[in-house]
Amino acid sequence: MSNGEKMNKAAITKHEIYNKLVDFSEQDLSDIANFIDFMRHKKKLGAKKVVKLQGILKGHDIDLSALKEIKQQAWRHVDQEHNNG
pLDDT at 70: 86
Q: Output the CA torsion 2→38→22→11 (10° steps).
A: -10
With CA atoms as reference, report the closest residue to 11 among 77, 19, 21. 19
pLDDT at 32: 94
pLDDT at 3: 67
Q: Where are the alpha helices (DSSP H) in the chain?
A: 3-20, 26-45, 67-83
- Ordered by start, the domain boundaries in the chain are 3-45
Per-residue pLDDT for the chain (85 aa), expressed as one digit of tens each?
Answer: 676 677 788 889 999 999 999 999 999 999 999 999 999 888 887 777 788 888 888 888 877 788 888 888 888 888 888 788 6
